[in-house]
Structure 1
Amino acid sequence: MSSPAQSSIKLRLSVFMFLQYFIWGSWYVSMGSYMANTLKFGGEQIGAAYGAFAIGAMISPFFVGLIADRFFASERILAVLGILGGVLLCCLPQLHQFSVFYPVLIAYCALYVPTLALGNSLSLHHLENAKTDFPRVKIFSAVGWIGGLVTLSLIKGEQSAVQFYLAGGVSILFGLFALSLPHTPPKKTGANVSIGEILGFDALALLKKPSFAIFIVCMFLICIPLYFYFVMLGIYLTELKWDYMAVKTSLAQVSDVIFLFLLPVFLRRFGYKLTIFIGILCWATRYFLLAGSVGLPDLQTAMIYGAILLHGVCYDFLFIAGQLYVDAEANERIRGAAQGLIAFILWGVGAFVGTLLAGKVLAAHQLATPQGSILHDWRGIWMTPAIGAVVVMVIFLIFFRDPPKEKAARAA
């Protein structure tokens, strides 16, 4: 039974997680459709814009490690980041030239991404039983993402600038709400922190283990086809003229919650290799479903829904299982560095390369209609990441060696 103080903290953290992911869900899925159909930006520009989030992820460790952890209370810096981020989001609808839109988007992502790590750190610091309570609080991030998508669809904002006003307004509310969180003073006041520690370079010693090295290589490689989904899906569904597109894609987060509960069962029973293999296999299957949906009107809707509903196993069995594997392989001294390294690869370098390549593939498969509108060769687009995922799956299956099952059982 939680004390009244703990119940209050869990309630505030749940609302915090809801608002944080509501912001992200309000614009991230639909931005590609807005850029393609309203701003008339090209494929390479759209890919670069999605890469802005990756740039934010690469900047974030420096910000958190060099500034937030040493000089400011977490709740206050979350408030400043939320309010400034909201202002920048509300500026984006006024920018119609890519040369201005892109740097402002990068600046916003550099403000938003640190809130993810800071929010998790603050939550873990104040929850008495973090192993039990943190996953329950974190569930509200999926609920918030769904809330952002549903709200955007209800106001029919998928292709309009209203998505940024919605996200910006909620971001300002998020910043003000952060001030109600428990006081969390800086953890490393006066400490000397090296760049290597911040980026997780202390964990590079783990690369001496062949299986860990293969794992890192495969995680980087799978990020390249993986981000095609996030860049392309909104544009694809818009060209198919799906109504309430954002609401329908929110089924991915429902799947995410379900498979998050199933992940510990799979880890205990099958270990890391088979669990992560299933995650990669489902990414390949998702892209084959999307490619197969092109030109099949009778099966198209069912195949697209199938691809959306695979999100839970795609994300949880790959990303979450991967983070648990890193945690199990690292010792106490380098555990934080190891998590920093995998985050830098997944959401930083891997995401940047993946979104950049996705933009180039989108531009290469662009088709002009006699009426002057732009369509795309979607079968060719979706087959590119499908083949890439199959290649990574084969490499992982051949070369990765499972650690002892008891490690997976302990993590689960």
Structure 2
Amino acid sequence: MAAKRKPCPPLGQRLRCASFREAGSKKRLVKRPETTQTNSQMNSSIRIKLSIMMFLQFFVWGAWFTTLGLSLASNGLSDIIGAAFQAVPVAAMIAPLFLGLISDRFFNCEKTMGVLHIIGGVLLFSAPSLIANGQGGALSWIIMIHMLCYMPTLALSNTVAFTNIDDRNKFPALRVWGTIGWIVAGLIVGGLGMSSSPKIFTLGAVSGIVLGVFCFFMPKTPPPGKGKPVNLSTILMLDAFKMLCNVPFLIFIICSAMICVPLAYYFAYTSVYLPQIGFQAPASTMALGQVSEIFFMLLVPFFFRKLGVKIMILIGMLAWVARYA
């Protein structure tokens, strides 16, 4: 006996059920976007760019600054060694007064950084010819203007890095590439026998222009002060001077200033002294001094958690005393 067939549901119900089944099958067929994988790839790409930026940032400086004193002394310009090295602190004080107002409010950090590096690189190209012609005064001004372009990029590179990482504890792993860049620059200069040659400026110029172009491919980093009212006291760093009323901060500033005194002598005259005691590649020899910095830079997050800021800074200052004593 044939089984009884179930009565067919009404047409409207059949259509609704069919549409639900079709929609359900489409939902099952739709492939969910792999957001986690995409974000991971993006973060990896940004991290690589930031690492290259840090590497070149300190490669540019280390290429010519480490043996600047030896290069000048070997080419009859010993009398301007002091003037050449004083460009660094002077530029560090002056540059924020006019560049801080512009870069912090009107232009993206990576673009400002790119323009400054290109200008600084072009200026360094003129240094070898000035040395060859014995124009020490003009060379001093070229170094000063170059440092006025370079010093703001130290802060800008940090801003670009911190803006584009999701965890501030990852910054030491990026910053360590700057130390590696400084070391590699010294090894190249020493290995090629350029420690006393004006060619150190050419190496710095080329790497500076390369970094300047590379900056335009960095992640967009809006100016941190965009849309904020102009505060003259901030531009003139008056707020920082007010902090000197805080005794612990005042002690920190005094200790930092005292530590920088032997540092200035170290970079100005160590490269001149090393060849006299038998070292043939002063740039490479001096670059070895930064090797320990790689190890301790990576340990900064650990020391922050275990020791705290004050103890960590104290140990760091004592290490500087031991190094330059």
TM-score (normalizing by structure 2)? 0.80
2:96 paired residue number: 61
2:291 paired residue number: 254
Query: For each residue in 1:289-320, what CA deviation from the matched residue of structure 2 results, as whole angstroms up to 9, or x when unmatched?
Result: xxxxxxxxxxxxxxxxxxxxxxxxxxxxxxxx
Aligned pair 1:123/2:161, yes or no? Answer: yes
2:116 paired residue number: 81
2:257 paired residue number: 220
Question: Structure 1: any 5+ residue segments left out of the alignment?
Answer: 289-412
Query: For each residue in 1:2-36, what CA deviation from the matched residue of structure 2 results, as whole angstroms up to 9, or x when unmatched?
Result: 62111111111111111111111101111000011
Write the mapping of 1:147-166 to structure 2, written as runs, cut at 5 A.
147-166=184-203
Give 1:239 shift: 2.2
1:178 paired residue number: 215
1:71 paired residue number: 106
Aligned counterpart for 1:241 among listed residues 262, 271, 278: 278
Larger Rg belongs to: 2
1:167 paired residue number: 204
2:23 paired residue number: none
Quote the Cα distance in structure 2 between the aligned partners of 1:137 and 1:149: 20
Write the mapping of 1:2-401 to structure 2, written as runs, cut at 5 A.
3-42=40-79, 45-95=80-130, 96-129=134-167, 131-263=168-300, 275-288=312-325
Decide whether the 8 Å contact of 1:83 with 1:171 is kept in 2: yes
SS of structure 1 residue aligned to 2:218: coil
Query: For each residue in 1:225-279, what CA deviation from the matched residue of structure 2 results, as whole angstroms up to 9, or x when unmatched?
Result: 3321121211111222312221222222211112224455555555555544444
SS of structure 2 residue aligned to 1:70: coil
Decide whether the 8 Å contact of 2:187 with 2:283 is kept in 1: yes
Give 1:158 shift: 0.6
Query: For each residue in 1:352-377, what CA deviation from the matched residue of structure 2 results, as whole angstroms up to 9, or x when unmatched?
Result: xxxxxxxxxxxxxxxxxxxxxxxxxx
Change (3 A) 1:242 1:195: farther
SS of structure 1 residue aligned to 2:78: coil
Letter in 2 for 1:32: G
Letter in 1 for 2:83: A
| Alignment RMSD (CA, Å) | 2.2
Letter in 2 for 1:78: M
Decide whether the 8 Å contact of 1:79 with 1:175 is kept in 2: yes
Quote the Cα distance in structure 1 between the aligned partners of 2:228 and 2:63: 38
Give 1:203 shift: 4.0
Decide whether the 8 Å contact of 1:41 with 1:98 is kept in 2: no
TM-score (normalizing by structure 1)? 0.64
Letter in 1 for 2:85: Y
Decide whether the 8 Å contact of 1:81 with 1:115 is kept in 2: yes
Letter in 1 for 2:169: T
Letter in 2 for 1:48: A
Change (3 A) 1:212 1:163: same
